[in-house]
């Protein structure tokens, strides 16, 4: 079957609705499994076009916002870009650390421009022929030019003139590659009638499409009168693969747009059943939809979404937090009041005066976590690659016959804190500081520390050994499993000192609950030294007294959320909160 170009209506029409919720220029990944449909060889190839991702947009918004902030700073204000970032896990703290380290790097140069300038208005066949002549890899020209158009979001009429030119040369046939890329532009520019036309052509011509085309068609059709056909496409896609969270997002948002709330919830349940973490936009859409609604069942489902955030340690962004607030305040007859606040060091909410959940683990949580770490990280983990069972046994015996420790120190990590200072001297300062407070200290070291040299002085090592217990592991051993073992074995009061963030170990843990507990435990037990130079008084970064997680008491909710202006690393926690409480 052939594709006649005249089949596509010549001029794009505007979308029927202005309140289109879906595709934005920013969050689109087009990852296409394209077939060569020119007929000679039916070769398949993977190929991916990546336009600006959500992350990148966020980064871009951040840049713009930061530029504004820095301008303000220049104007004499002393305000900081991020809120409180005085503890190690505060959102933005890592970014700040990296900025300090990278300030001397050379500026990034803008990318080199393409040799051929993309046309800004439609060309006729002769003009396209001429442009192709100027292009080196002539065989690839059509694909190359349409790809550039996708990347720069060219207007539809220009893209269409490429298709018209190709069609004239090929008896009216336009190949799959070009068609899908044209479809991308139609969806990007939200041109309903064009999308439907391409959809009709593809439906007639191909029995099955690849996931990239399904994704585009679903997204494009969802906001038309033929949106239920998008759901049929989802069914088709499910026959070959599990749809992506973006596919579900498109369909759920489309169903809500067309007021079919049952379809939306069913798709949401289906998504969760595949263990897919939904997009925050999907969750936000349910809150937006529920505004002003008095429906207990619907409310319960939204509460479950909030608990899902809690259990998976997810944080809404600023606009999602606003949607949550708006929804609560809109529930008829319930009198909720929301405020955006920060939490005091003591854990007290400045909005309602309640104290948020403590960072300290209950004894039940502690025993649960201890058992998991002992089993999955220490006994069953991959630590044997870095140490031997004999060495681990030796260490376990060592710990067994000593009183519980108050602090466990990663000796090598601490000693290397100041690259220019003598390692044994740095470590001695820290150990003496702790010993003066009558703390039972364990220092984990390596055997090489006992060999006198310019970095490790015997006299300093001897002084330390009088003030603390030492365990010297083989030089090849990794310290983390020993550190975790000794700290957990000593009990819930015991802290540990290292700059290591233990992300590898968190990854070894089997499920979201254990990972969450581990992170909670880590935040409450890890001490980091913030002293600026070797001789300075030893000071530690503040440990948060409260847990940064979505929580409720029934008549209140506290929801940490991500500030749009702060770039948070995955192991950091937000510093901004939404406090919701009900007047009773
Ligand atoms: Zn509060």
Per DSSP, the residues of 516-528 read HHHHHHHHHHEE-
* Structure-token pair, residue 115: 């040799």
Q: What is the pLDDT of residue 506?
A: 67
Query: How far, in Å, from the CA of 579 to the mean position of ligand 1?
Result: 4
Query: How far, in Å, from the CA of 314 to the mean position of ligand 1?
Result: 19
Rounded to 5 degrees, φ, ψ at 388 are -110, 160
Q: How far is CA 483 from the centre of its chain?
A: 28
Query: How far, in Å, from the CA of 361 to the mean position of ligand 1?
Result: 21
Query: How far, in Å, from the CA of 471 to the mean position of ligand 1?
Result: 46
Residue reference for tokens 């000071």: 539
Say yes or no to pLDDT of 55 above 70. Answer: no
Query: How far, in Å, from the CA of 303 to the mean position of ligand 1?
Result: 17
Reported as a pLDDT band with limits 50, 70 and 90, residue 538 is confident
The one-character DSSP state at 71 is: H
Say yes or no to pLDDT of 106 above 80. Answer: no
Query: How far, in Å, from the CA of 547 to the mean position of ligand 1?
Result: 14
**Type and span of the H or E element at 579:** strand 576-582
Query: How far, in Å, from the CA of 84 to the mean position of ligand 1?
Result: 18
- The contacts of residue 430 (CB under 8 Å, 6+ apart) are 409, 414, 497, 529, 538
- The contacts of residue 558 (CB under 8 Å, 6+ apart) are 343, 349, 354, 356, 550, 551, 552, 577, 578, 579, 580
Strands (E), 418-528: 441-446, 469-473, 495-497, 526-527
Query: How far, in Å, from the CA of 456 to the mean position of ligand 1?
Result: 52
Q: What is the pLDDT of residue 33?
A: 28
Residue 376, SS3 per DSSP: helix
Residue 307, SS3 per DSSP: helix
Query: How far, in Å, from the CA of 350 to the mean position of ligand 1?
Result: 6
**Rounded Cα gap, residues 222 and 230, in angstroms:** 6
The mean per-residue pLDDT over the stretch 112-132 comes to 83
- Reading across the β-sheet that carries 576-582, which strands appear in turn? 336-341, 576-582, 556-561, 551-552
Query: How far, in Å, from the CA of 206 to the mean position of ligand 1?
Result: 57
* Structure-token pair, residue 181: 């890329």
**Rounded Cα gap, residues 90 and 146, in angstroms:** 44
* Structure-token pair, residue 7: 């089949």
Strands (E), 370-482: 407-410, 441-446, 469-473
Q: How far is CA 384 from CA 248, 368, 472, 477, in A?
A: 42, 23, 17, 9
Query: How far, in Å, from the CA of 540 to the mean position of ligand 1?
Result: 28
Query: How far, in Å, from the CA of 546 to the mean position of ligand 1?
Result: 13
Query: How far, in Å, from the CA of 93 to the mean position of ligand 1?
Result: 24
Query: How far, in Å, from the CA of 334 to the mean position of ligand 1?
Result: 17
Mean predicted lDDT score pLDDT of the chain: 81
Query: How far, in Å, from the CA of 575 to the mean position of ligand 1?
Result: 14
Query: How far, in Å, from the CA of 358 to the mean position of ligand 1?
Result: 14
Query: How far, in Å, from the CA of 340 to the mean position of ligand 1?
Result: 9
Q: What is the pLDDT of residue 528?
A: 85
- Give the largest CA-CA distance in the chain: 90
Query: How far, in Å, from the CA of 364 to the mean position of ligand 1?
Result: 26
| R_g of the chain, CA atoms, integer Å | 30
How many residues are given for the chain?
584
Residues 127, 168 contacting (CB under 8 angstroms): no
Query: How far, in Å, from the CA of 352 to the mean position of ligand 1?
Result: 4
**Rounded Cα gap, residues 27 and 250, in angstroms:** 12
* Structure-token pair, residue 264: 């939306």
Angle between helices 261-273 and 245-257 (to 10 degrees): 170
Query: How far, in Å, from the CA of 557 to the mean position of ligand 1?
Result: 7
The sign of the torsion formed by the CA atoms of 224, 226, 228, 231 equals: negative
Query: How far, in Å, from the CA of 300 to the mean position of ligand 1?
Result: 21
Query: How far, in Å, from the CA of 511 to the mean position of ligand 1?
Result: 30
pTM of the model: 0.73
Query: How far, in Å, from the CA of 330 to the mean position of ligand 1?
Result: 18
* Structure-token pair, residue 283: 């969750």
The mean per-residue pLDDT over the stretch 421-426 comes to 93
Question: Which of 69-83, 152-166, 229-243, 287-301 is predicted with the least confidence, judged by mean pLDDT?
Answer: 69-83
Q: How far is CA 337 from the centre of its chain?
A: 30
* Structure-token pair, residue 408: 């466990």
Q: CB burial class (10 A; 0-12, 13-18, 19+) of residue 90?
A: buried
Reported as a pLDDT band with limits 50, 70 and 90, residue 536 is confident
Q: How far is CA 133 from CA 136, 141, 329, 462, in A?
A: 8, 9, 64, 80
Query: How far, in Å, from the CA of 336 to the mean position of ligand 1?
Result: 12
Highest-scoring range by mean pLDDT, 317-321, 418-422, 541-545, 566-570: 317-321
**Rounded Cα gap, residues 81 and 60, in angstroms:** 16
The mean per-residue pLDDT over the stretch 75-102 comes to 60
**Rounded Cα gap, residues 426 and 384, in angstroms:** 30
Query: How far, in Å, from the CA of 495 to the mean position of ligand 1?
Result: 29
Query: How far, in Å, from the CA of 341 to the mean position of ligand 1?
Result: 8
- The share of the chain scoring above pLDDT 70, in percent, equals 79
């Amino acid at each position: 079957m052939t594709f006649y170009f005249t089949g596509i209506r010549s001029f794009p029409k505007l979308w029927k609705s202005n309140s289109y919720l879906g595709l934005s220029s920013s969050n689109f990944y087009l990852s296409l499994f394209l077939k060569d449909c020119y007929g000679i060889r039916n070769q398949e190839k993977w190929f991916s076009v990546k336009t600006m991702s959500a992350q990148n947009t966020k980064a871009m918004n951040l840049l713009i916002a930061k530029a504004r902030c820095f301008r303000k700073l220049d104007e004499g204000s002393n305000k900081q870009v991020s809120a409180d970032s005085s503890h190690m896990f505060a959102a933005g703290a890592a970014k700040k650390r990296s900025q300090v380290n990278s300030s001397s790097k050379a500026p990034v140069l803008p990318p080199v421009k393409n040799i051929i300038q993309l046309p800004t208005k439609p060309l006729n066949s002769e003009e396209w022929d001429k442009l192709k002549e100027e292009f080196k890899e002539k065989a690839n020209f059509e694909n190359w030019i349409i790809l550039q158009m996708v990347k720069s979001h060219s207007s539809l009429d220009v893209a269409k003139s490429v298709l018209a030119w190709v069609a004239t040369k090929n008896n009216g046939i336009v190949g799959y590659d070009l068609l899908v890329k044209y479809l991308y532009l139609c969806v990007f520019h939200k041109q309903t009638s064009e999308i439907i036309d391409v959809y009709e052509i593809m439906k007639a011509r191909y029995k099955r499409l690849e996931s990239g085309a399904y994704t585009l068609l679903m997204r494009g059709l969802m906001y038309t009168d033929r949106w239920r056909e998008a759901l049929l496409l989802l069914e088709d896609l499910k026959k070959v693969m599990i749809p992506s969270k973006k596919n579900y997002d498109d369909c759920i948002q489309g169903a809500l747009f067309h007021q079919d709330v049952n379809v939306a919830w069913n798709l949401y349940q289906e998504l969760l059943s595949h263990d897919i973490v939904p997009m925050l936009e999907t969750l936000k859409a349910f809150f937006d939809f529920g505004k002003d609604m008095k429906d207990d069942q619907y409310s319960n489902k939204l509460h479950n979404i909030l608990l899902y955030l809690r259990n998976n340690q997810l944080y809404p962004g600023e606009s999602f937090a606003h949607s949550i607030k708006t929804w609560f305040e809109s529930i008829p007859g319930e009198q909720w009041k929301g405020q955006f606040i920060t939490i005091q060091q003591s854990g007290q909410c400045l909005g309602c005066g309640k104290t948020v959940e403590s960072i300290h683990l209950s004894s039940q949580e502690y025993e649960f976590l201890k058992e998991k770490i002992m089993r999955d990280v220490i006994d069953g983990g991959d630590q044997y690659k870095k140490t031997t069972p004999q060495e681990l046994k030796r260490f376990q015996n060592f710990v067994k016959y000593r009183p519980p420790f108050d602090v466990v120190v990663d000796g090598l990590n601490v000693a290397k804190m100041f690259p220019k200072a003598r390692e044994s001297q740095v470590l001695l300062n820290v150990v003496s500081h702790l010993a003066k407070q009558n703390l039972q200290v364990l220092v984990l070291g390596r055997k090489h520390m006992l060999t006198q040299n310019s970095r490790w002085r015997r006299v300093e090592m001897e002084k330390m050994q009088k003030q603390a217990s030492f365990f010297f592991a083989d030089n090849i051993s990794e310290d983390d499993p020993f550190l975790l073992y000794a700290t957990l074995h000593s009990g819930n009061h015991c802290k540990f000192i290292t700059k290591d963030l233990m992300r590898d170990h968190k990854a070894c843990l089997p499920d979201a609950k254990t990972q969450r507990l581990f992170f909670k435990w880590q935040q409450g037990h890890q001490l980091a030294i913030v002293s600026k130079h070797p001789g300075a008084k030893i000071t530690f970064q503040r440990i948060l007294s409260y847990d940064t997680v979505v929580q409720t008491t029934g008549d209140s909710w506290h929801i940490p959320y991500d500030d749009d202006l702060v770039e948070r690393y995955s192991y950091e926690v937000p510093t901004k909160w939404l406090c919701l409480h009900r007047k009773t």
